[in-house]
Structure 1
Amino acid sequence: MPEQGTNSLRPAARRGRGAVSNETGRYEKQTRQFVEDGWDSLDELPRLRTEVTIERPRKIITRNASPDISFDRSINPYRGCEHGCAYCFARPTHAYMGLSPGLDFETRLFAKPDAAKLLEKELAAPGYEVRPIAIGTNTDPYQPVERQYRIMRDVLEVLAAANHPVGIVTKSALVLRDLDILAPMAEKGLVKVGLSVTSLDHKLSRMMEPRASTPAKRLEAISGLSEAGIPVSIMTAPIVPAINDNEIERLLEAGAAAGATSAGYVLLRLPLEVAPIFKEWLKENFPDRAEHVLSLMRSMRGGKDYDSAWHERQRGRGPYAWQIGRRFELAAKRLRLNERRYDMRTDLFSPPVPVGGQLALL
C-alpha cells in the first residue's frame, strides 16, 4: 500500500522488484499521488504482476552516432526489463510510452514478436551495409519473458542465416539455450557475448538485480559459452562506489577462471529519472552509507548526479574514477584479459531473400 504523500509501495506489494516507487513519466501533463485513506487492508494488497503488451514497430534496427560507443546499430526485442535493476539507464525510455520509469519499467513490458520478420526485410533492403548489430545494450534480450516469446532466438536465426555479425550483452544464463545457433556463428567469426556480473555476493546481486540470473549461474554461462568456442567477456557493470567497487578484482578473476578472454566496466550512470529511482533504492537498502555513495558519485561527475559528456559518461573523472580505472586495468592485465581483439567478420554476409523475391544469379 502506498505511503502517505509518496508514490512508494510497501515491500509486500513490490516483493521481487527493484524500484521503490512509480513516479509519473516526465512527459505527462498530470501526476499521480498515492494517499493512504484507510480503505484498503495490507493483507489484501496483491503483488505486482508482469504485464506484456505486443508492440508492432515498423523497423527493428535502431541507429546511433555516439562517438563513445563501439557500434552504430542495435536491436531491442523488448521495451522495459523484468530484471528490475534500479540503476538501469534505459528506464527513462518508458516515459515515451506514457508510463513510469519506476515500477512500470519492470512490470509493464512491450514485446516485439515481428522483430525477426522486420530484421529480415531490413537486411534485404538494397544498399544495406553490414556492420555488427548489438543486442542487449538497452534492455536484456534474455530477460524472463524471453522463455515464452522466444523473440531473441528468432532474431538470431535470421542473423545466422544471413551470416550477419552480432554482439550480445546479457545478465541471464538463458543465453545457453541458443548455443546451437551461437556456436556455428562463432566458428565463422560472427558473434561475441558479454555476461554482466555486478557482484559475487548472492544477496547483493539479488538486491541490485532482483530477477536476473544468480552470479553462479552467470559464471556457468560464461563457462558454457567458452567451452562452445564463443568469445565471451565479463562485464563488471555498473561499478557503484562503496557498494560493489571492492569486488572489481574478484569479479575479473572469477570471469577469467570461467573462460572469459576479455572484460569491460562501466561506471554507474544516473540520467534523468534514474537518479531519483536509484536514490530511493539506495536509501532503502543502504541507509547507513547512502550519502557517502552519492558523494563519491558526484566527485566523479563534476559535482553533479550525472554528466552526459561523451567519453566521460562511461568512466567518470577525478581521483576516484582514476583509481577504479587503474585497478581494473591492472587486474585485467594480470589475468591476461583483453590481450586479443575480436573483430567480427562482415565479408560473409548474404542478404536474405524477401518473400516473393528472387535469388541472386551470381
Structure 2
Amino acid sequence: MNPKSTIKGRGAQQHVPNRFFELSHEMRDDFLEFCKKEGEVSDKNKTLYLEVFPKTIVNKVESPDIGMSYSMNAYQGCEHGCVYCYARNSHEFWGYSAGLDFERRIMVKKEAPKLLEALLKKKTWKACPIVMSGNTDCYQPAEKQFEITRKCLEVFLKYKHPVSIITKNALILRDLDILKKLVVDNLICVNISITTLSEETRRILEPRTTTIKKRLETVRVLSENGIPVNVMLAPIIPSINSHEILPLAKAVSEHGAVSIAYTIVRLNGAIGAIFTDWIHKRMPDRAAKVLHQIESCHGGTLNDSRFGTRMRGEGKIADQIDTLARLAHNRYFKNKKIPKLNVDLHEPFKNGQLKLF
C-alpha cells in the first residue's frame, strides 16, 4: 500500500458505522477531490479529550474466562490505536465509531479518584483486587496530561487495597515511587502487553504505543524493584506474530518477568471490518491467509463470543499455538508464578487511617 494513502499514526483506517445508529458517516470521493482542489484538509486527524461524569468507576466483571472480578477504566477510547483491540466495540455505546473515533475521541473521567475512594470506604465493600484497566489502557497518552491513574494509585495506597495494572506503556515507570510502596504489602502486580519483538510490526499494529525496547526495559525496571510482572503475549495473530511465542517468552524472562499469558485474536463486532480493511491495506500480500487462519481458530468466523473457547480458539492452528505457549512456559517460567495479592489489610483503613481499637 502507498504510505501516503494511509492515515498516519492510526490503527483503524476508516470510520465504521455505529450499529446503534440509523445514519452513518461516509468520506465520499467527490468531497476528497473538492478538498484537494481547494487545498483544504479533509481530515485533521486530531485527538480530542472529552470529560465525562460517570456515577461509578468500578465494574463487576461477569465474564467467566476473563480472570478478574472487578475492573476500572479512567479513560474510554484509547489513543494507542491497536487495530485488534476488543475494547473498540464499547465506544459505540458512547455514540462514536469503533474505528477512528475510538482512537481520536477519548473520554476522560477526572472524578475517578473520588469515586474510587468513596467505594473503598463503604462498609459493605470487601477487598478484592481491582484491575486497571480491564478495557482501555490506563497509561495511554492522555495520562501524561491528566494523571488520573496516578491519583487512583494514591487512593489504593492510602486504603491498603490490592490493585492490578494492565498496560503497554512505559509511562508506568513515572509512578514507580507509589508502586514500590504498594509492593511492600503485596498490593500490586503489573501486566505488560508485548505482542511482538519486531518494531516494524508494532508500528503498524499498535501505532501509538511504547516501543518494544522501552517495554522490555519497563519489565526489567519493575522486576528489579520487586514488582511482580506478568507479560501478556496478546493477542497472538496467526502468520503475524504466532512465530514469535518462544522468542518473546525468552526475552521477557531474561528481563525479569515471572509469568506469561496469551490469547488468540478474536475480531468481534465492528473489529472484524476494521481489521479486514487494515490488513488489506497494510499487509496485502498475506491478508487472505491471515484472515482464513483466524477463522480456522473460531469455527469458521472472525467473530467468536463463546465462553471457554473465545480466548484460546480451537482447531489445528490454535492447538499449535497452545503447544508453543506451554513449551515456552515450561522452558522459561517453570516454578514461577504471580503471587496472590493481599486482601487482608484494607478493612482497618476504611476511614483513611489505621484503627487503634
Compute the TM-score of the two structures, normalised by the length of structure 2: 0.94
Q: Displacement, 1:319?
A: 1.3
Tell me the amino acid that sits aligned with residue 21 of structure 1.
Q
Give 1:353's aligned residue.
Answer: 351
1:44 aligns with 2:40: yes
Give 2:107's aligned residue.
Answer: 110
1:267 aligns with 2:264: yes
1:25 aligns with 2:18: yes
Structure 1 residues 163 and 273: CA distance shift in structure 2, 3 A: same
Contact persistence 1:120–1:352 (CA under 8 A): no
Distance 1:330 1:140 in 2: 29
Equivalent of 2:253 in 253, 256, 262: 256
Give the percent of matched residue pairs that are identical in Structure 1 and Structure 2. Answer: 40
Give 2:77's aligned residue.
Answer: 80
Give 2:175's aligned residue.
Answer: 178
Q: Displacement, 1:306?
A: 2.1
Give 2:133's aligned residue.
Answer: 136
Structure 1 residues 330 and 13: CA distance shift in structure 2, 3 A: closer
Deviations 1:120-159 (A, max 9, x none): 0011112111110011221000001100000000000000
Deviations 1:150-198 (A, max 9, x none): 0000000000111111111111000111110111211211110011111
Alignment of 1:1-362 (within 5 A): 11=4, 14-37=7-30, 38-41=33-36, 44-45=40-41, 47-337=44-334, 339-350=336-347, 351-353=349-351, 362=357
Structure 1 residues 12 and 320: CA distance shift in structure 2, 3 A: closer
Tell me the amino acid that sits aligned with residue 34 of structure 2.
W
Distance 2:356 2:53 in 1: 34
Contact persistence 1:263–1:338 (CA under 8 A): no
Distance 1:13 1:283 in 2: 12
Structure 1 residues 338 and 170: CA distance shift in structure 2, 3 A: farther
SS at match of 2:149: helix
Tell me the amino acid that sits aligned with residue 203 of structure 1.
E
Contact persistence 2:295–2:301 (CA under 8 A): yes
Contact persistence 2:229–2:338 (CA under 8 A): no
Distance 2:79 2:109 in 1: 15
Deviations 1:3-48 (A, max 9, x none): xxxxxxx956721111010122110121222212232118532540
Contact persistence 2:266–2:294 (CA under 8 A): no
Q: Displacement, 1:338?
A: 6.2
Q: Which moved more, 1:305-314 or 1:208-217?
A: 305-314
Structure 1 residues 261 and 337: CA distance shift in structure 2, 3 A: farther
Give the total of aligned pairs: 350
Structure 1 residues 34 and 261: CA distance shift in structure 2, 3 A: same
Distance 1:268 1:11 in 2: 28
Q: Which moved more, 1:96-105 or 1:45-54?
A: 45-54
Deviations 1:201-243 (A, max 9, x none): 1111011100000000000000010011100011110100000
Greater per-residue helix proportion: 2
Give 1:7's aligned residue.
Answer: none
Tell me the amino acid that sits aligned with residue 29 of structure 1.
E
Distance 1:312 1:13 in 2: 34
Distance 2:275 2:263 in 1: 16
Q: Which runs of 5 or more residues in structure 2 are unaligned?
A: none
**CA root-mean-square deviation:** 1.7
Tell me the amino acid that sits aligned with residue 36 of structure 2.
S
Q: Which 4+ residue blocks in structure 1 deviate beyond 4 angstroms? A: 10-13, 358-361
Q: Which runs of 5 or more residues in structure 1 are unaligned?
A: 1-9
Q: Which moved more, 1:338-347 or 1:107-116?
A: 338-347
Distance 2:216 2:76 in 1: 26
Tell me the amino acid that sits aligned with residue 140 of structure 2.
Q
SS at match of 2:34: coil
Distance 2:57 2:10 in 1: 28
Q: Which moved more, 1:123-132 or 1:109-118?
A: 123-132
Distance 2:50 2:350 in 1: 29
Distance 1:33 1:174 in 2: 36
